[in-house]
A = this chain, B = another copy of it.
Amino acid sequence: MSVMQASPAAREKIAHPAASALDLATIMRTVGDPLRLDIVRLLADDRPRPCSEVSAAMGLPVSTCSYHLRLLREVGVTRTRAEGTQRFISLRRDDLEDRFPGLIEVLTH
C-alpha cells in the first residue's frame, strides 16, 4: 500500500499489544495502583470516553491522566481509538475476558 493510500486510521497510529501478548502479572502490577484501578472501574460501563472526560471524572490534570491511560493501554487493559482530534478510551473487555476470564469482574466488582 502506498503512503498516498494510507487511511486516516493508519496515519493516526496508536500502539496496542496483541491479545496473545497480554501478561497477567504485568496487568496486575499496572492496575495495582488505586488511581488506575479507579479508571478501570470508570470504564467498566464500556462507554468509550474522551481522555478529557476521564480526567474530569478522576479530578486529575489531563497530562497526569494521559500518563496513566498510556500505561493501561500499553499493557492491554484499554483501547484508544482516534476520532478526529479526540481519542476515545475503552476497556478491552473481550480480549481480557478471553485471556483472563473473570479478571474484569474482580477489578470492577
Contacts and interface: CB of A to CB of B under 8 A. Distances in A.
B37 A32 contact: no
A34 interface: yes
A52 interface: no
A11 interface: no
A28 B75 CA distance: 14
Interface string A24-60: 1111111111100100000000000000000000000
Nearest to A23: B34
A103 interface: yes
Contacts of A101: 106, 109
Which 3 pairs, one residue from A and one from B, show the smallest C-beta to C-beta distance?
A29-B32, A28-B32, A102-B102
